[in-house]
């Protein structure tokens, strides 16, 4: 089976591999063809970030508090010229959770985010080691307290259960033995005096358990590096366990949950053949015909972060991301502060009366902002270069921009009626005047952002 590469395919790829896109970005990716489009995203290191990084610094986000940290990351997700890099960083932020409420040091959380970005598509081994030695993670799951004679099993358990192997592929004995191997991986300079921001990793042999350990059937005087190698090398009758686990997790995030066994097996083989390259597994996902099937499209419920970022990115809004960051709590997801190591559930768990109201409020704030601060967009820009002499044309232009062309005929008809309606609500006919563009385009964008079609990517 081959992929029927269309402009809609490019839009689908950008909804999943990024956070949505503008029409021109979709056109550019479509023109590159399937392999060129995928390479443009997953091999994006050649895209220069100098100008963007300078603009990000100039905005002066206060990275000493969590709100500023949220704004900084939201900005990157919405505006970085390397959107896939930020989508992968977001994935790892969900995978390797750490919460500011326990870690306390914002610099530690920031540094972990930078590590996730730096190793986002490299060798899985390198990322596992870097996060296992990351001060924020060491505090979050208590491994900084793990020492010979007083082992702490929290990180050892989650390392296998949530991050590398999955439930059922290790024993309680393995948890105990991995915990012993990880003794000595701790931190230094974790002090209230500098708001807990000065902590650095320390491999302390004085508190390491140097005794013999048996991990997943292998016996030796294992340390933390040995434990990670054994875990990632672990195989059963179906081959690499970490390969199946990571492949399933990545497919579930980018395509749909519960991938069929043949998909997992194909991706596992890529993982093994590429020496556990995250990049090559993701490339295989984006090149897979199943990724572009109709049942894969517009089925992913956008998380609050994805909803906020897509709303801003797809209308090319200017933003300080203050409203977006402050709205996340009401929508059910506070960046950098998950409730536990498992993180957040995906899918319809994001949706209830309260969280939908919070999404609508965010959209309304953006669409009614005619000032020079906050999040705002130019309605004229959205129609520029397009026929917009009729209400149907206005709806078509904005539905294409916001990728809500799949809205039901009833909803689409209500959008046309809204654009045609007079100010008093009576039936009328759209005319392209400055006043109508300002009012109706803003209102229509709000209707589309709060429609069922936009909540799905």
**What is the tens place of the pLDDT at every residue in 65-109?**
999 999 999 999 999 999 999 999 999 999 998 999 999 999 999
b/e per residue 150-160 (b: at least 16 CB within 10 A): ebbbbbbbbbb
Strand pairing partners for 239?
236
- pLDDT higher than threshold 90 for residue 385: yes
DSSP character at residue 80: -
Mean per-residue pLDDT, 420-431: 93
* 179 close to 156: Cβ distance less than 8 angstroms: yes
What's the whole-model pTM score?
A: 0.97
Q: 3-state SS of the chain: helix, strand, coil percent to 5?
A: 60, 5, 35
User: Structure tokens of 92?
Assistant: 């790892």
Domain-by-domain residue ranges, the chain? 60-296, 379-449
What per-residue confidence (pLDDT) applies to 347? 86
**In b/e form, how buried is each residue of 314-350, taking b as 16+ CB within 10 angstroms?**
bbebebbbbbbbebbebbbbbbbbbeebebbeeeeeb
pLDDT of residue 102: 97
For residue 345, the model assigns a pLDDT of: 84
* Residue 255 pLDDT class (50, 70, 90 cuts): very high
Q: Cβ(67)–Cβ(326) under 8 Å?
A: yes
On the question of pLDDT at 278 being above 90, the answer is yes
Task: Label residue 182 by pLDDT band (50, 70, 90).
Answer: very high
* Burial category of 226 from C-beta neighbours within 10 Å (exposed 0-12, middle 13-18, buried 19 and up): middle
Q: Sign (positive/negative) of CA torsion 174, 178, 209, 230?
A: positive
Chain-centroid distance of CA 313 in Å reads 14
């Amino acid at each position: 089976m081959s992929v029927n590469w269309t402009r809609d395919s490019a839009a689908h790829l950008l909804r999943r591999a990024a956070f949505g896109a503008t029409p021109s970005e979709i056109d550019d990716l479509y023109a590159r063809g399937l392999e060129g489009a995928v390479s443009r995203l997953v091999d994006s290191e050649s895209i220069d970030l100098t100008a963007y990084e300078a603009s990000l610094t100039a905005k002066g986000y206060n990275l000493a508090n969590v709100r500023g940290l949220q704004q900084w990351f939201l900005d990157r997700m919405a505006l970085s010229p390397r959107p896939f890099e930020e989508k992968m960083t977001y994935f790892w932020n969900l995978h390797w959770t750490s919460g500011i409420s326990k870690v306390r040091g914002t610099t530690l959380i920031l540094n972990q985010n930078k590590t996730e970005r730096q190793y986002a598509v490299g060798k899985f081994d390198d990322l596992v080691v870097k996060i296992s030695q990351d001060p924020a993670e060491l505090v979050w799951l208590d491994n900084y307290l793990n020492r010979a004679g007083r082992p702490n099993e929290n990180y050892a358990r989650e390392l296998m259960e949530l991050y590398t192997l999955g439930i059922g592929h290790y024993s309680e004995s393995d948890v105990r033995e991995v915990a012993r191997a990880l003794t000595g991986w701790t931190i230094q300079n974790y002090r209230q005096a500098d708001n807990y921001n000065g902590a650095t990793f320390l491999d302390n042999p004085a508190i390491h358990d140097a005794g013999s350990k048996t991990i997943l059937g292998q016996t030796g005087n294992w340390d933390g590096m040995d434990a990670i190698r054994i875990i990632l090398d672990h195989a059963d009758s179906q081959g690499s366990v970490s390969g199946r686990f990571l492949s399933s997790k990545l497919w579930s995030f980018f395509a749909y949950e519960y991938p069929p066994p043949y998909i997992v097996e194909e991706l596992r083989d890529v993982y093994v053949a590429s020496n556990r390259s995250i990049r090559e597994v993701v490339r295989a996902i984006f090149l897979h015909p199943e990724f572009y099937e109709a049942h894969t499209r517009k089925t992913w419920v956008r998380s609050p972060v994805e909803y906020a970022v897509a709303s801003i990115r797809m209308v090319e809004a200017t933003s300080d991301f203050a409203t977006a960051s402050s709205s996340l709590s009401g929508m059910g997801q506070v960046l950098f502060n998950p409730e536990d190591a498992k993180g957040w559930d995906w899918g319809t768990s994001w949706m209830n009366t309260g969280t939908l109201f919070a999404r609508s409020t965010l959209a309304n704030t953006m669409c009614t902002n005619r000032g020079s601060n906050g999040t705002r967009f130019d309605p004229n820009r959205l129609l520029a270069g397009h026929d917009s002499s009729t209400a149907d044309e206005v709806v078509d232009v904005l539905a294409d921009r916001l990728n809500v062309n799949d809205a039901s005929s009833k909803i689409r008809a209500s959008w046309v009626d809204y654009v045609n309606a007079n100010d008093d609500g009576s039936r009328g006919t759209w005319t392209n005047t400055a006043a109508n563009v300002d009012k109706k385009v803003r209102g229509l964008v709000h209707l589309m952002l709060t429609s069922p079609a936009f909540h799905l990517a």
